[in-house]
Amino acid sequence: MEAFSILAALTGDEAKAASAASSAGFAYGLAAIGPGIGIGYLVGKSVEAMARQPEAAGMVRTTMFLGIAFTEALALIGFVVFILIGL
């Protein structure tokens, strides 16, 4: 709560910089939730598939990396936004 009262007391450019920093943090934090769940689910399912059918492991691994690449993109866009507005 103290942080918020400090934020409220700032004026002008300082307030702008402070709100940019905190919203950058929020942006990246929110952007990380979805991909985190997604990659966890994806890799978990792939491990399950590889354990059930070890002979298909190579194919499952390739597809898993492709899926990770697409899922991860959202988190990375969040990271770019974090850099653009925060730093």
Partner 1 sequence: MLALEFPPINELLRWQDIFPTFNKVALIAVLATLVTSVTFLIAARQDGLKAPRGVRNLAETIVEFIEDQIIMPTMGKHGLGWTPFLLSLFMFIYLCNLPGILPFFQFPATARIAIPLFLSLLVWVIFIGVGFKHQGFSYLKNSLFPPGVPGPLYILVAPIEFISTFLVRPFSLTVRLFANMLAGHILLVTFALLTHELIQSDTIALKPVAILPFFMLLFLTAFEVLVGFLQAYIFTILAAVYIGGAAHPDH
Looking at beta carbons only, is 8 or 69 nearer to partner 1?
69
**Cβ proximity to partner 1, 19 vs 62, nearer residue:** 62
Classify the phi-psi angles of 11: left when phi > 0, otherwise alpha if psi is within -120 to 50, otherwise beta: beta
Binding site for partner 1 (CB under 8 A): 58-59, 62, 65-66, 68-70, 72-73, 76-77, 79-80, 83, 87
Instruction: Name the DSSP letter for residue 66.
Output: H
How far is it, in rounded angstroms, from Cα 26 to Cα 35? 15
Smallest distance, partner 1 to C-beta of residue 65, A: 6
